[in-house]
């Protein structure tokens, strides 16, 4: 995505006040979020051993930052992309009962990301996972969970407004659900990104269901790893997918703004199907995949919520570098500075 410089952009908080606001947003969100979804915080790793299958494959093609460990005979480790599969493994290790779960402060390095208003080399998010029963693997349960998360977003937005009254709320009272196939039929001559733009602009906050499986035009709405959430199972509405993305309309940048990817996680059956469809059945021999296929991991629902993205959105910032310290191209730093966008 090319750098966006909003017309007549004026920062609403000085950098020093922004730092205070960032802490307030993060503290408030995770407190409410953990209470409403009944999650407990656990310590998260920054890197994992290569070959275990525990690191997130994201869209299945991105390469992780890796290094060798001298003290372990040169074994290879890699910096996490996310903790998508690790946290499900931990659910089982901690024997967390259905209806309860865990969350982490996840920090990752993604060297393949574009560097623009909403993408950074550094990724910080709340990775969360909750144990569910087999009978909870439904679209209704997914929607109920999405509404709970969205309610938390509304509460934190109100908290920001009460502390900084010049930052007025922009989120609608409810989130709108739509399946990726419905979007494709509504706008058959548009790209997935264009469909998101039209629908998010109209509704303000949307959850797109079924990201990963091929649609009627033969193409998926977007890429998705085959071994995390379930994008192949038929749901109650007759479409494929028990997963999706929370997308908000960002009025500062005038674009759709993904805040979370989440979903009901793969069952042994759907994992096998998704690995086959993506032509990587060999992954079934990796530690994580083998445990799941043998029924040794709990059924779960989970996802990731971008911390810097949330702060950026709620504080009405134009660039993610206004709420996190990272590395940016010199020309981008200058273009932002010229427009009054001060990167940390």
Taken in order of first residue, the domains within the chain and their CATH numbers are 15-295+302-338 (3.30.930.10)
Quickly tell me which residue has 């500062």 as its tokens. Answer: 252
Q: What is the pLDDT of residues 161-175, one digit of tens each?
A: 999 999 999 999 999
pLDDT tier for residue 99 given thresholds of 50, 70 and 90:
very high
Overall pTM > 0.85: yes
Choose, from 30, 120, 125, 307, the residue flagged as catalytic: 125
- What are the angstrom distances between the C-alpha of 192 and each of 114, 120, 208, 222, 226? 19, 22, 11, 8, 20
Query: If 0-12 CB within 10 Å is exposed, 13-18 middle and 19+ buried, where does residue 94 land?
Result: middle
Asked if 104 and 126 touch (Cβ cutoff 8 Å), the reply is yes
Q: Annotated catalytic, 245?
A: yes
The three-class DSSP label of residue 286 is: coil
- Min mean pLDDT across 27-31, 188-192, 284-288 is at 284-288
Asked if 246 and 262 touch (Cβ cutoff 8 Å), the reply is yes
Mean pLDDT of 324-333: 93
**Residue 171, number of CB atoms within 10 A of its CB:** 18
Mean pLDDT of 132-147: 98
Choose, from 82, 120, 261, 307, the residue flagged as catalytic: 261
Residue 113 pLDDT more than 90? no
- 20-23 contacts at long range (C-beta below 8 A, 24 or more positions apart): 21/160, 21/163, 21/164, 21/311, 21/315, 22/311, 22/315, 22/323
Asked if 53 and 227 touch (Cβ cutoff 8 Å), the reply is yes
Please tell me the distance from the alpha carbon of residue 316 to that of residue 11, in angstroms, as a whole number.
8
Please tell me the distance from the alpha carbon of residue 233 to that of residue 168, in angstroms, as a whole number.
40
Q: Annotated catalytic, 56?
A: yes
Q: What angle do CA 281, 45, 33 make, to 5 degrees?
A: 95
Q: What is the pLDDT of residues 49-90, one digit of tens each?
A: 887 777 766 555 667 888 899 999 889 998 888 788 899 999
Q: Annotated catalytic, 110?
A: yes
Choose, from 30, 82, 88, 110, the residue flagged as catalytic: 110
Q: Which helix (H) or strand (E) holds 268?
A: helix 268-277
Cα atoms in the 13 Å half-sphere on the side-chain side of 252: 23
């Amino acid at each position: 995505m090319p750098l966006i410089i909003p017309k007549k952009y004026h920062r609403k908080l000085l950098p020093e006040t922004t730092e205070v606001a960032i802490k307030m947003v993060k503290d408030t969100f995770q407190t409410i979020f953990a209470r409403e979804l009944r999650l407990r915080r656990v310590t998260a790793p920054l890197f994992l051993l290569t070959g275990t299958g525990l690191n997130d494959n994201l869209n299945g093609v991105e390469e992780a930052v890796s290094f060798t460990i001298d003290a372990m005979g040169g074994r290879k480790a890699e910096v996490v992309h996310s903790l998508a599969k690790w946290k499900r493994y931990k659910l089982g290790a901690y024997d967390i009962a259905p209806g309860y779960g865990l969350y982490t402060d996840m920090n990752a390095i993604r060297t393949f990301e574009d560097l623009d208003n909403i993408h950074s080399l550094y990724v910080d998010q709340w990775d969360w996972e909750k144990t569910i029963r087999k009978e909870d693997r439904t679209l209704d349960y997914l929607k109920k969970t999405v509404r709970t998360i969205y309610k938390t977003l509304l509460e934190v937005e109100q908290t920001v407004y009460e502390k900084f009254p010049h930052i007025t709320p922009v989120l609608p009272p409810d989130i709108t659900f739509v399946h990726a196939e419905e979007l494709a039929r509504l706008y058959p001559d548009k790209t997935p990104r264009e469909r998101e733009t039209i629908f998010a602009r109209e509704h303000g906050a949307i959850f797109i269901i079924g990201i990963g499986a091929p649609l009627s035009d033969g193409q998926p709405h977007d890429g998705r790893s085959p071994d995390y959430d379930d994008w192949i199972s038929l749901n109650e509405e007759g479409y494929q997918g028990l997963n999706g993305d929370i997308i908000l309309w960002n009025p500062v940048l005038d674009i759709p703004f993904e805040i979370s990817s989440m979903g009901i996680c793969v069952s042994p059956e759907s994992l096998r199907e998704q690995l086959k469809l993506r032509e990587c059945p060999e992954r079934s021999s990796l530690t994580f995949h083998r445990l799941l296929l043998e029924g040794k991991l709990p059924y779960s629902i989970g996802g990731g919520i971008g911390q810097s993205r949330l702060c950026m959105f709620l504080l009405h910032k134009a660039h993610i570098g206004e709420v996190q310290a990272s590395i940016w191209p010199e020309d981008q730093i200058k273009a932002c500075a010229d427009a009054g966008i001060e990167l940390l």
